[in-house]
Structure 1
Amino acid sequence: MNLVLSALFASAVVWGLDYIGILSFTVELVVAATAVLMVLTYLVIR
């Protein structure tokens, strides 16, 4: 569940940053953002 929700949120954030011209939307960036969000979520709920 954490993976799916983190991936959806990371995709939305990266898409938004691409939309305003800060980053480009790439699969690698979404995967990295998903991993960071998963780790942060794990640490917060521990």
Structure 2
Amino acid sequence: MNQTYITLNNGAKIPQFGMGVYMVPEGEETKRAVLNALKMGYRHNR
């Protein structure tokens, strides 16, 4: 999958699309999805 990134004013690049896991059942498929998202650069910041 090709990923589009946005460059922020501080020069940091973030993925254009987010990933939600609210109410996603626990399991290997969910674990793989989250690990792959982290490898692609997804991060959670409050």
TM-score of the pair, normalised by structure 1:
0.36
Structure with more of its chain in helix, by fraction: 1
The one of the two structures with greater contact order (alpha-carbon pairs below 8 A, sep at least 6) is 1
Larger Rg belongs to? 2
More strand by share: 2
